[in-house]
Chain A
């Protein structure tokens, strides 16, 4: 089973970029890497996903290492509304995520 490792918490200043790392060294070759975030009192919501190449959407960018053993979620300009728990998951295996605190 794939297992992920993320820092428990991170802090960022508002309007600055944030790089959220994730290690998934046991991921299989065909598993997509999904990122979700969970705002307070809500269910998790999809942020971005990718397989091998880097991906961009309106919410974030995803940088995937060439060996696929790690990835980084990039929020280009953090806002207070980005304060949430961020989960990196292959398939349905959620860990405890990274709690992002954004400082005004």
Chain B
């Protein structure tokens, strides 16, 4: 089974802190995604990556950056956390090349981040 893990389930940070959210997948997937989920807004794509060192902006990249130095790991960085970044953050991975489940996304359990 595909496994996507996220470094923390719950995280509390202070305004202005630099925050790192880590995501690791063990299925050799090419694509990785970061979303945030807020009540009434569904999932919104922040960034995605289709290869090592490659990244593309999603719908709401402002205030975030990402890093993909290794294929299995995709990090989301909040350079200076703000209270409006309090949210549930979800990581996912997928492969465009697997015939049985092309582009099917596998999600991690999520990190609930609170910025005080």
Report A's interface with B, CB cutoff 8 A.
Answer: 32, 34, 36, 42-46, 49, 87, 91-97
Within 8 A of A (CB), among B73-116: 90, 92, 101-110
By CB atoms of chain A within 10 A, which of B4, B102, B106, B107 has the most? B107
B103 A32 Cβ-Cβ under 8 A? yes
A43-B90, A43-B107, A46-B106 known; A97+B42 contact, CB < 8 A: yes
**Within the complex, which residue of A43, A45, A92 is in contact with B110, where a contact is CB–CB below 8 Å?**
A43
User: How far apart are B104's CB and chain A's nearest CB, in angstroms?
Assistant: 5
Least CB separation from B45: chain A residue: A92
Residues of A within 8 A of B40 (CB): 96
User: How far apart are B56's CB and chain A's nearest CB, in angstroms?
Assistant: 10
A95 B42 Cβ-Cβ under 8 A? yes
Within 8 A of A (CB), among B33-54: 33, 35, 40-45, 48
**Within the complex, which residue of B45, B48, B108 is in contact with A94, where a contact is CB–CB below 8 Å?**
B45
Closest CB pairs A-B (n = 7): A43-B107, A96-B42, A94-B43, A44-B107, A46-B104, A43-B110, A43-B90
B103 A91 Cβ-Cβ under 8 A? yes
Bound complex: CA A93 to CA B33 (Å): 11
Residues of B within 8 A of A44 (CB): 43, 90, 92, 105, 107
Within 8 A of A (CB), among B1-59: 4, 33, 35, 40-45, 48, 58
A46 B42 Cβ-Cβ under 8 A? no
Residues of B within 8 A of A95 (CB): 42
A43 B108 Cβ-Cβ under 8 A? yes
B101 A49 Cβ-Cβ under 8 A? yes
Residues of B within 8 A of A49 (CB): 101-104
A43-B108, A44-B90, A44-B107 known; A94+B44 contact, CB < 8 A: yes
Bound complex: CA A32 to CA B102 (Å): 8
**Within the complex, which residue of B4, B42, B101 is in contact with A87, where a contact is CB–CB below 8 Å?**
B42
**Within the complex, which residue of B33, B41, B90 is in contact with A96, where a contact is CB–CB below 8 Å?**
B41
A94-B44, A94-B45 known; A36+B109 contact, CB < 8 A: no
